[in-house]
């Protein structure tokens, strides 16, 4: 049961470093200089986005046999590992949202929209399909987002410039590859090959 929380937390925390939402957190911190409304917006947006993603993952997971689901998860984790190696860039449209609202609403809207189709949202779908405790997956992925983004909001540009982003992306990709290997092993077990 604890795996349903710890694995999503670690995976999303690693995957989020250098992600466009982390860049968005930097922009919001520099623009508003009010960390607590920004952090509250990150929490609200992530919970809403990842709850929807987790629900989709749990729903989709119910349609497949264990073997098929594990093969799909293995392929998805491997693809996400490769995607994690590609650095993200922040879209101008997401950065411009900050000009219209205050720090909380801007963060809520911008983070929710930035997470749609993002690798951490897709990871949430995959993790929810893999782990039976949906609420722990959602809390874990949200905590992972906070682990990666709160220090950026609090420390601003200083912290982001000092992080070895290439190394961190490689670590996150490695974690997704490990999950892919575990999913392949479970698929082989479910198929009766091992």
Specify the pLDDT at position 48: 96
Helix (H, G, I), strand (E, B) or coil at 117: coil
* Predicted pLDDT at 33: 81
Given this model, what pLDDT does residue 107 score? 93
The confidence score (pLDDT) of residue 91 equals 56
The pLDDT score that the predictor gives to residue 163 is 60
Nearest to 64 by CA among 130, 133, 144, 156: 130
Q: What is the pLDDT of residue 182?
A: 87
| Cα–Cα distance list, 72 to 33, 49, 99, 125, 128 (Å) | 43, 22, 41, 12, 13
Please tell me the predicted confidence (pLDDT) of residue 5.
Answer: 96
Q: What phi, psi does 167 have (nearest 5°)?
A: -60, -45
d(CA 19, CA 123) in angstroms, rounded, equals 13
pLDDT at 9: 96
Report the length, in residues, of the chain. 194
Contact 128, 137 (CB under 8 A): yes
Q: Mean pLDDT for each 10-residue chunk of the chain (194 residues)?
A: 92 85 84 90 96 93 86 84 73 56 90 88 91 95 95 72 70 82 90 88
């Amino acid at each position: 049961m604890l795996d349903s929380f710890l694995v999503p937390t670690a995976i999303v925390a690693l995957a989020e470093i250098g992600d466009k939402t982390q860049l968005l957190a930097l922009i919001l911190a520099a623009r508003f200089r009010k960390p607590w409304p920004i952090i509250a917006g990150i929490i609200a947006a992530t919970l809403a986005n990842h709850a929807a993603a987790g629900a989709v993952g749990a729903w989709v997971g119910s349609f497949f046999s264990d073997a098929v689901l594990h093969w799909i998860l293995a392929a998805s984790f491997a693809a996400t590992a490769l995607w994690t190696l590609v650095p993200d860039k922040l879209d101008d449209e997401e950065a411009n949202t900050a000009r219209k609202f205050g720090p909380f609403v801007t963060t809520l809207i911008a983070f929710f929209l930035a997470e749609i189709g993002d690798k951490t949202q897709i990871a949430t779908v995959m993790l929810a399909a893999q782990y039976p405790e949906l609420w722990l997956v959602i809390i874990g992925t949200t905590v992972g987002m906070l682990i990666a983004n709160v220090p950026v909001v609090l420390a601003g540009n200083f912290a982001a410039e000092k992080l070895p982003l290439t190394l961190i992306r490689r670590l996150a990709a490695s974690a997704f590859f490990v999950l892919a290997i575990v999913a392949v092993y479970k698929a082989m077990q479910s198929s009766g090959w091992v």
